[in-house]
Structure 1
């Protein structure tokens, strides 16, 4: 038996968004993020990359919040006694689905069928939820292990962009060749590993420029740049503004 209580997709919130429910819901909650977000997991608040999924069981603490200027996700609150939900092996912890776009499309279909609310739509909802959870486990054991390692690597990049990241260093962390890392990283996240590092560093710098009184040079160092000119070049390439222009324009917008 499956019963969707509430469902939403492409839901957007601002930078101050926080969802904090100490005792959880009395039903299941499934999320699929479109943007990076903070989750409270194992007693710690950590940032997870975009396109993370998480299944919260009933009556478990729920905490997640925006980590950038926009937070966006799909979500389903539902009742279920189906084995593919109750025995789902990853509960209460974010993970990265193999094909998040496929999952997103299923959630959209679920929302449309939920709006119909008749016997036929209820049957379709049952089959769509089954397909969603089967897709979430679309891994073989070897692939699942490397996928988990990639997620952990990306989480470390997001949490510590200031580290001296290189393809060689990242490959050594996963005990694979640099060329193989670059191939599977791009396949998994649709971006090269070094471009992901750069984007995260610039995103971190934007946050510091906007929310601190640190000088541009101090922000550059905190963001992992020892060469200030290199920081300026990469910042302008991505944002189309210099760091000072970005800070001044952001202050005017406020």
Structure 2
């Protein structure tokens, strides 16, 4: 069971803001701090960038302050039973930089919308949203606590990857993708592969073949037209790449998988 007691989004304080609760709370506190801050953990001061998440355990000291700028955070006071949180105990009382902070902040806002609503199933909805938040935070923790250099463009990389799959017909090139992210071609290739474990141009090919499979299954379009819709100017090149990735020609793939007439 998971239960929110109080919560708020985008709460702001001036640059002199500080908290010093030596005994913490009798419940847990989640903070997504959207400004630079300093946390005192086990007597050690840790300076953190904007978009840092911390989940304080019950009765754990809360010591944190603004760091040279207006302080802003999302916050949740909550209770839980032992079965709900056991998998995530390693995340407690540890500042964690969140590269996909828009995603996490959106989850918190969705929880607030439910918490302050009269929806019939708001408790279940909030619990599922919190589970998603914890899974994403654990995923981030396993990528290491602070990865500020790479994480600065993490959201943009995700947007780029989504755009590649949404628009496989585009005339994608490394130079075009690097320009979109305002980084060098070399850095794009390095950071993309380190993030998604595939090169950016291999991703383009994957997106085109994925779309080709869909068109072959769902339509009666000629292979040449499908080739064009998937961003290929040369049908022979398309057929070679398709067979390389699937071991089948487009015609063979259609014959084995087509839904038409079934």
After TM superposition, the score normalised by the length of structure 2 is 0.54
**Shift of residue 71 of structure 1?**
0.5
2:72 equivalent to 1:75: no
Out of 41-50 and 7-16, give the one that drifted further.
Answer: 41-50
- In structure 2, the residue matched to 1:107 is 108
2-structure distance, mates of 1:29, 1:140: 18
CA contact (8 A) 1:31 1:74 kept: yes
- In structure 2, the residue matched to 1:33 is 33
2:94 equivalent to 1:93: yes
1-structure distance, mates of 2:148, 2:91: 14
- In structure 2, the residue matched to 1:18 is 18
Aligned residues: 159
1:20-52 deviation line (CA, Å, top 9, x unaligned): 110011111111111110100121122111111
CA contact (8 A) 2:35 2:69 kept: no
In structure 2, do the counterparts of structure 1 residues 79 and 152 end up closer, same or farther at CA, with 3 Å as the change threshold?
farther
Q: Note the residue ranges of structure 2 that are not aligned, 5 or more in a row.
A: 152-185, 196-262
2:139 equivalent to 1:138: yes
In structure 2, do the counterparts of structure 1 residues 149 and 114 end up closer, same or farther at CA, with 3 Å as the change threshold?
closer
In structure 2, do the counterparts of structure 1 residues 183 and 47 end up closer, same or farther at CA, with 3 Å as the change threshold?
farther
CA contact (8 A) 2:150 2:191 kept: no
After TM superposition, the score normalised by the length of structure 1 is 0.56
RMSD, matched Cα: 3.0
- In structure 2, the residue matched to 1:148 is 145
2-structure distance, mates of 1:151, 1:182: 18
Q: Note the residue ranges of structure 1 that are not aligned, 5 or more in a row.
A: 155-178, 189-254
